[in-house]
Amino acid sequence: MAEIDTPAYTPGRPPLRTPFRTPRRATSAAFALNGLLLGGWASRVPAVVEKHGLSESGFGLLLLVMGVGALVSFPLAGRLADGFGAVRLTRWIIAFYLSTLILIGLAPGAAWLGVALFLFGMCHGAMDVAMNSWASEVEKHLRRSIMSSFHAMWSLGAGLGAASGFAATSFDLSIAGHFAILALLAALLLAPMTLCKWTSATRAHDRNSPVFALPRGPLVLVGVIALSAGLGEGALADWSAIFLRDVAGSGEAQATLGYAAFSVTMVAMRLGVDPLITRLGPTVVARCGGLAAALGIAIATGVATLPAALLGFVLMGVGYAALVPLAFSRAAADPIVPPGQGIASVATLGYGAMLLGPPVIGFVAEVSSLRIAFMLLGGFALLIALIAPVLQRDVTRTAT
């Protein structure tokens, strides 16, 4: 089916055919931009910790502040997307998101860093809600499953952001300079690509709907899978560089390679995950994913050298890549809970764990060690393999 650039849910308007700014490419650019900024932040975590003299628990508290900012933004962004349209909200948030990255680099002390991270987390979480809503509209418009490819673009952006950290540290670029250049490049190269002709649906908000939707019934275990995968992804984003530096004994420039290796692996797996699910089924893919992630954690924490840790992070990328898309597919196919409510409830646990899990890693590392904190992730990965059959019901029907 050819991709036609037409406004969503506005019949009667003539189609606007522009080969370089189709809805799919515009949405992909938004996902890539969101990942790019988070990857850039993640790559400079050791430098931020050193600049502000933070302990592991102190840094964990700042990550908690960032996670709370994101969680606060979820219901607000959902209501704004309903009122103004997902595509319009996505574009508004981009400008603020770019600014908050610059604020992180300019923060003169830990208190101001906390304020900047709270705003950064709010923008990241709000854009996550808005762009995923936009992506679901594009997917419906094209009448085929493409959500995995959007998440692949997010992972690609995150990997490029992490790679920018390697380049910045190699050239001894300051945190403020690095983040300013990264924000400028994103504003010039990616932000304009989101400006395709598209009009999102708007609707009145139901005042009786819960602010935070949580899974119920069979979706509780589906939410546990999303939570377990979110813990792993969040830990790699915020702690992989410190793990490589403090546990594996790498230099600061080499420490930035961990999240880049993880993100590149996620891109490759997400681009090829749909055929695997169709051929093997969701249970087999999820079970293999949980076991691969657990094996990667065991290698990274057991051997604790730079090559072993990088190999472990690659295996974690292989393992985690398919799990969140599978959880969303199962939530959308639930025979009892409506698709939107099901996806929202599972996303709350998945994204909540991704954002709030890293602070918990910091607190555990403070009372024990970072290696033990990472070992706990292995237990959650094994739990995924154990409860993988909960993904089976109606998923294959949806995928095929």
Are residues 224 and 279 located together in one domain of the fold?
yes
State residue 2's pLDDT score: 38
Inside any domain, residue 204: no
pTM for this entry? 0.73
CA separation for the pair 155, 184 (Å, rounded): 20
CA atoms within a 13 Å half-sphere pointing along the CA-CB vector of 137: 25
State residue 320's pLDDT score: 94
CATH number of the domain encompassing residue 245: 1.20.1250.20
Q: How many other C-beta atoms lie within 10 A of the C-beta of residue 87? A: 29
CA separation for the pair 265, 375 (Å, rounded): 21
Are residues 353 and 324 located together in one domain of the fold?
yes
State residue 200's pLDDT score: 66
Q: Could you say which residues of the chain have pLDDT below 70? A: 1-21, 82, 144-145, 200-214, 332-333, 337-344, 393-400
Greatest distance between any 2 Cα atoms in the chain: 63
State residue 202's pLDDT score: 65
State residue 154's pLDDT score: 87
Are residues 124 and 271 located together in one domain of the fold?
no
Inside any domain, residue 170: yes
Inside any domain, residue 90: yes
Are residues 189 and 302 located together in one domain of the fold?
no
For the chain, the domain total comes to: 2
Inside any domain, residue 54: yes
CA separation for the pair 54, 67 (Å, rounded): 18
Are residues 182 and 78 located together in one domain of the fold?
yes
Inside any domain, residue 128: yes
State residue 203's pLDDT score: 62
Are residues 171 and 248 located together in one domain of the fold?
no
Are residues 318 and 390 located together in one domain of the fold?
yes
Are residues 161 and 231 located together in one domain of the fold?
no
Domain region containing 31: 20-195
CA separation for the pair 60, 65 (Å, rounded): 9
The set of residues, in sequence order, having a beta carbon less than 8 Å from that of 18 and lying 6+ positions away, is 5, 196, 197
Are residues 190 and 246 located together in one domain of the fold?
no
Are residues 223 and 289 located together in one domain of the fold?
yes
* Element spanning 183, H or E: helix 175-189
Inside any domain, residue 276: yes
Inside any domain, residue 10: no
Are residues 162 and 34 located together in one domain of the fold?
yes
Are residues 173 and 254 located together in one domain of the fold?
no
Inside any domain, residue 203: no
